[in-house]
Amino acid sequence: ATPFAADALSGAVPYGAAIRIDELADILYSEAVRTYCKVIVAEGAMKWSDLQAVRGSFTFEPTDTLLAFAQDNDIELRGHTLAWYAALPEWAERISSAEEARTELVHHIDTVVGRYKGRIRSWDVVNEAIAEDPTPDAPYRDSVWLRHLGPDYIELALRTASEADSSAQLVLNDYEFEQPTDQARAKRKAFLDMVRGLKSRNVPLHAIGLQGHLRGESAVDSPGISSFVAELSALGLGILVTELDVIDDQLPGPIEERDKLIAARAREFLSAIGSVVRPEIVVTWGVSDQHTWVPIWFSRQDGLPNRPLPLDENYQPKELMRVI
């Protein structure tokens, strides 16, 4: 590790990144991952659409490759993700009954978690379960799972994962908790309600993933995040930062200024968490600005490249790397 990476929340929190498996063939990319990362996660390869594009036929080669890379380099591979509304193959979107939904969800989770039992320790079991604009009547995000099974699919997914690997760390992962908005407040409340319900029913659940796709232009709701994390910790749950990046489409162009603002935003977020509890890991959604989802989803009007990640497009550490 470099002096920059060693700064991670007083050096105590393992840093990691989401990985595009094909890019590992690029020596600069794989060297950066080896240098900085103690934990990695597949950016896409372990989603349903990749693992089970054809019903009943699983494609494990890319994941196996990633796992071998991780093991060779003493890096931990996390699993992402077992139940999500998105990245579903067409056949799964067409599931048409509760029985079919239950069968397929259980089969997928059982097969995938079972295969990597003892080798993948931590799983994002359900991703983004809460609605974008949750109301007391409709707190959950629409998905093929919710439509056919109701919110019980969350419990089903967690119980199935636990049965497939009883020593795995089971995580619920979600986003936008840190925004200074009513929507984010509603999201935190809906999420806590869900978690309390699961805990009261003794559903296996061990940690919460805060994605942390921060918006460069809006301040982090630090008190909101701190009390949210405190409530989750009080329930005995670990805290993971799972997808950190700083979306910079609304930030000024000049790089020096922009990189400072980006680092400051991440510092706000990590301090708000760190003032309450030490996160178990801090994972950014990619390692270098060369490979990031941000320009596709949040491209800049001025045509300048986005800079959401800790390394620049030449794999040089930026100010953000000092923060994490």
* Closer residue to ligand XIL in complex, CB, 153/175: 175
Query: Cis omega (within 30 of 0) on the bond before 59?
Result: no
Residue nearest to ligand XIL (CB): 293
* Closer residue to ligand XIL in complex, CB, 224/286: 286
Identity of residue 26: D
Residue 221 binds ligand XIL, judged by CB under 6 A: no
Query: Which member of 63, 211, 288, 290 binds ligand XIL (CB under 6 A)?
Result: 211
Structure tokens at 147: 């439509």
User: Which of 322, 189, 194, 212 lies closest to 273, judged by CA?
Assistant: 212
Cβ(281)–Cβ(14) below 8 Å? yes
Positions annotated as catalytic residues are 128, 243
Give how far Cα 164 sits from Cα of 14, 111, 167, 172, Å: 26, 8, 9, 17
Residue 191 binds ligand XIL, judged by CB under 6 A: no
Site for ligand XIL in 252-311 (CB under 6 A): 293
- Pattern 243-262, ligand XIL, x by CB under 6 A: x-------------------
Residue 87 C-beta: closest distance to ligand XIL, Å:
7
Structure tokens at 199: 């805990």
Element (H, E) at 284: strand 282-284
Residue 127 binds ligand XIL, judged by CB under 6 A: yes
DSSP secondary structure string for all residues of 51-120:
HTSBTTB---HHHHHHHHHHHHTT-EEEEEEEE-SSS--HHHHT--SHHHHHHHHHHHHHHHHHHTTTT-
Residue 177 binds ligand XIL, judged by CB under 6 A: no
Residue 294 C-beta: closest distance to ligand XIL, Å:
9
Residue 123 binds ligand XIL, judged by CB under 6 A: no
Query: Which member of 44, 89, 151, 295 binds ligand XIL (CB under 6 A)?
Result: 44
Cβ(47)–Cβ(312) below 8 Å? no
How many chain residues touch ligand XIL (CB under 6 A)? 6
* Closer residue to ligand XIL in complex, CB, 102/108: 108
Residue 44 C-beta: closest distance to ligand XIL, Å:
6
> Residue 206 contacts by C-beta under 8 Å, 6 or more apart in sequence?
169, 170, 171, 237, 238
Residue 63 binds ligand XIL, judged by CB under 6 A: no
Residue 204 binds ligand XIL, judged by CB under 6 A: no
Residue 243 C-beta: closest distance to ligand XIL, Å:
6
Contacts with ligand XIL, residue ranges (CB under 6 A): 43-44, 127, 211, 243, 293
